[in-house]
Structure 1
């Protein structure tokens, strides 16, 4: 798949379906202008409103209760009561404001109080210090733009006895371009989004984003990204779209997951469906950074041959694609 993607002829075929003749995803001609791209794409798209499960619905042994949150920005720790019980807690990034080690430590401690047997977390653009390239090559920008001084950053790492902030994530499964099998359900997580100011995990629209989406395995049942696809939960307050065109093409044409969980665009909170995939913008914070959006809940049937007891065998770990 990846080798076919690199074929320049296939890459820019003007096929509105989002695929080349050999089945690889192509870059849309209007990918740099997502609002314009959606105007065209929406003519052949289904976007229906989805209905999240009521949090007080009884949990059963034949289904995994999944609780989704995102964009908590160091607010959820003082409101843990808003998170309902479940089997899997998924956080789609932006659990901090700028990725300071003390913010990460506080969030990790919060996760330790949650009773969900499995907690799965990805980073977002606000979790700056999780972006390895930014930490390695963007220290001046971290200090100038976000007040994360090198001295202060290093002192906190020493205080907590770690070499990088990811080591502080001891109460969850941290996914970065990686996935995990949970009771026969494959969950894949990726922190990237189309370039958004000077924040973390930024990629240019089109080819650079598509390279990351090409890493998503086709057996993915639940996809977790920080940013939304075009057309689902991506409408900004000013009326413009922020979603990624190639992410939607990858979801609909190749991977076809049952669920796609994301955040990033706070005002896009809610559930939609295209008839196959259910899209969940789980942003907890509103546009004004108030944690007023309720976690979104759904049940996923446990595949034949698996049982819920397998949850207890999954330990906190950091899965990062090298």
Structure 2
């Protein structure tokens, strides 16, 4: 396959069968080591602190979030996207010391998707604030929706899309999701999505999704064949917290909550060396 081209796999809508095929073809997913939370912050490295799926619980875990240069939240910081939930999350972000805070939305951030129909009560509340969407309340972070930022010479891209019907930012598996992933720049250093890629931190062992791989094949192929970031941070599948690697990219499921919305998991941290000639001053 050409390095600039990702095509929809014919088995795109059968993720379990597709992953089995990929494994037979030599695709790799193995556990990856992560840094201890008390690892010192080094002047020649950028410390990333990753969380996701806090579901209204951020205030309860603030004391467990270590300092760093860049905080990443990979979505589902609310339960329903209600304005009070968003405002509460925004005020809690202000209590964290990180110089840069990057946030993508998740499927639970209902009403964040541009063009989405918003129920009238929420719409009236936003209009009273002079706003159109809930994400406009996020004043204490950089909100990424199909957007790239460059911090300390590193290119970081965030996108909220996922293949779970009935929620904000849903797109069907296959070409619809690939159209979104095609927007990810090829030279991205750190990728943030809400959904996992197929085969990495995506095993769903709950309710109707029991035994299903919930990750996106088009996202995996975009990461492995075209973009090849150093790190890919996501959440969405709560009980698959941890890190894996294919030998080139480290995949981080940074979920904090389990499926019962308890908070058994800690943030995950990693370091990226500063590019030549770049400092943190």
TM-score normalised by the chain length of structure 2: 0.95
Task: Give the match's secondary structure for 2:6.
Answer: coil
- Distance in 2, matches of 1:133 and 1:55, equals 40
What are structure 1's unaligned runs of at least 5 residues? 1-18, 140-148, 310-322
**SS of match in other structure, 2:91:** helix
Say whether residues 1:225 and 2:193 are aligned partners: yes
The 2-side partners of 1:22 and 1:183 are apart by 27
Contact 1:46 1:274 in 2 (8 A): yes
Provide the aligned C-alpha RMSD in A.
Answer: 1.3
Aligned match for 1:132, one of 111, 114, 134: 114
| Matched position secondary structure for 1:79 | helix
Gaps of at least 5 residues in structure 2 are none
Distance 1:156 1:251, change over 3 A: same
On the 8 A contact 2:52/2:255 being kept in 1, the answer is: yes
Quick check: 1:90 aligned with 2:72? yes
Q: Are the counterparts in 2 of residues 230 and 244 from structure 1 also a CA contact under 8 Å?
A: yes
Q: 1:34 maps to what in 2?
A: 15
- 1:184 pairs with 153, 166, 188, which one? 153
Within-5 A mapping of 1:1-322: 19=1, 23-43=4-24, 44-135=26-117, 139=118, 149-150=119-120, 152-158=121-127, 160-194=129-163, 196-237=164-205, 238-309=210-281
- Count of residue correspondences: 276
Contact 1:76–1:291 at 8 Å: present in 2 too?
no
Q: Specify whether residues 27 and 60 from structure 1 end up closer, same or farther in structure 2 by C-alpha distance, changes over 3 A only.
A: same
For the residues of structure 2 that align with 1:289 and 1:273, how far apart are their CA atoms?
27
Identify, as 1 or 2, the structure richer in helix.
1
For residues 22 and 96 of structure 1, the distance between their equivalents in structure 2, rounded to whole angstroms, comes to 37
Q: How far does residue 22 in structure 1 lie from its aligned partner after superposition?
A: 7.5
